Structure 1
């Protein structure tokens, strides 16, 4: 996991590796850019719309098509290149093979697009819908969850990407924030608790002696569901076992907490990184949600005031 620290002249990251080893990474290549994590790589976006894949440890960069090559780019709702792409997911590690695909959520309407090595522009995913909030790659397919909680699976290996599977939502109304994440080989759907009469009613939560002085008001409760794709159903689960989830607008990651000292099992680490609030200059934070009792606490000391990117999670390196 990487949590961001800021310096005036460059981007600095603190890497917590397996075994608790701390490593400081300075990335001048990411200075002033929006960063999105996928498989330990960063998709960087500059203010002028240039995009790259950057490996934070080897410093290798791979050029990506400019933001102007997205379909619908020239519609009038483009205001800021830094906030144009919301999430990015790789199918496999670029350093191991050129046979990979990068899928992103982009634009105000949150469309899907994909890119393969050698392509000069972003290709559209024909979803029949928009408002995608999260995406993952799982067993050869990309899975996206939309604002209502519906899950669609896509095959992007052919010339045209279409949905090949749909998992209906359990909810009639729009949920506040859906996430999709692979954990221990299973697909989990995580939503902010839609059963609360008031989404951010702090009276619902159990507080104890944990440090809650900096817990953001916009971070609410969560419900976790396991997806059974063949039966087209969700089943709520109340425990993550030894795993912990790292969620946010930047990335959705599951890790074995036993391999990372200081990370608590059966917890959801959640960054308050919605670009809507970030662009208004509001302070961002990262919090821990304890699935067992619904309590919350702050994730780390200090606050993020980075001028180009909210707090973010980075997948632990495999080495």
Structure 2
């Protein structure tokens, strides 16, 4: 929309390294230090990158100096890393939500060499201290009228009341686990559904037998988020 003023941030490679490029540049910039990331988001005019162990690092892509990632939450902020994926989402109220996604294989235990099925999600909100720094996290038991969309692309939150067929207080998710293990599974999506935060139930929004390739959420430009 504005070809003279934009920033694109990407996670690339099998282990999801971070890079960005700005308008007028011919080459990508690779911040220091490098790391493995689960997700990245623009929030409060900064880039926040989510490390695989749960900590969040900030990046000022508008700085003229050599960009460096800055740790802004405690190291390993969660007591257990048994979840496999995590996401950062800005709520419709402007809160920074941290979503943990938990898996199990068909026998109820997690194994990297088995096809995984999502069992549940836990949602946290990061609370900001005076001065704008991230302070602490609190668990969110309900997101009210909101619905979260997470998976192998930028995650979003929408007001369910704006969309008649959208379930409120729910998390819609796509299958973004098996894409890292192409030798184990085909491209057919397997683990896709809707998790209800109130009662913990999971329903399907997609048939796993439709012979389609893995899916991402497509977010058009529209009002009403």
Instruction: Please classify the TM superposition score into its range, dividing by the shorter chain length.
Output: 0.7 to 0.9
Q: Are the counterparts in 2 of residues 155 and 164 from structure 1 also a CA contact under 8 Å? A: no
The size of the alignment, in residue pairs, is 206
Determine the structure 1 residue equivalent to 2:86. 178
Q: Unaligned stretches of 5+ in structure 2?
A: 109-114
Q: How does 1:50-129 map to 2 (within 5 A)?
A: 95-96=1-2, 98-126=4-32, 128-129=33-34
Runs of 4+ in structure 1 off by over 4 angstroms are 201-204, 301-304
Cα distance in 2 for partners of 1:227, 1:176 equals 20
CA contact (8 A) 2:188 2:208 kept: no
Per-residue CA deviations over 1:67-108 (Å, capped at 9, x if unaligned) read xxxxxxxxxxxxxxxxxxxxxxxxxxxx14521111111123
- Tell me how far apart the structure 1 counterparts of residues 56 and 88 of structure 2 sit (CA, whole Å): 9
Q: CA deviation at 1:254?
A: 0.6
TM-score, scaled to structure 2: 0.81
Q: CA deviation at 1:300?
A: 3.0
Residue 207 (structure 2) pairs with residue 298 (structure 1):
no
Structure 1 position 203, deviation (Å): 10
TM-score of the superposition, structure 1-length normalised? 0.59
Checking the alignment, whether the CA contact within 8 Å between 1:284 and 1:311 is kept in structure 2 is yes
Residue number in structure 1 paired with 2:112: none
Partner residue, 1:257: 160
Of the three residues 145, 162, 175, the one matched with 2:68 is 162
Separation in structure 1 between the aligned mates of residue 105 and residue 186 of structure 2, nearest angstrom: 24
CA separation of 1:110 and 1:203: change in aligned 2, threshold 3 A: closer
- The answer to whether the Cα contact below 8 Å between 1:191 and 1:224 also exists between their aligned partners in 2 is yes
Q: Is the 8 A contact 2:14 2:180 kept in 1?
A: no
What does residue 191 of structure 1 align with? 100
The offset of 1:173, in angstroms, is 4.4
2: CA distance, partners of 1:284 / 1:201: 15
Deviations 1:140-162 (A, max 9, x none): 10111111110111101123222
Flag the 1:303–1:259 CA change in 2: closer, same or farther, 3 A: farther
CA separation in 2, counterparts of 1:254 and 1:244? 6
Contact 2:3 2:23 in 1 (8 A): no
Change (3 A) 1:100 1:276: same
3-state SS of 1:258 partner: helix
Match of 1:150 among 44, 55, 62: 55
1:281-315 deviation digits (Å, cap 9, x = unpaired): 15204200011111101013465544xx6211012
Partner of 1:240 in structure 2? Answer: 143
Partner Cα distance (1:303, 1:234) in 2:
39
The 2-side partners of 1:281 and 1:202 are apart by 17
Whether 1:311 aligns to 2:220 is: no
- In the alignment, what sits opposite 1:266? 169
Q: CA RMSD in A?
A: 2.5
Contact 1:187 1:226 in 2 (8 A): yes
What is the aligned counterpart of 2:124 among 218, 225, 229? 225
In structure 1, what is the equivalent of residue 44 of structure 2? 139
Structure 1 stretches lacking a partner, 5+ long: 1-94, 194-198, 205-215
Greater RCO, 1 or 2 (C-alpha within 8 Å, sep 6+)? 1
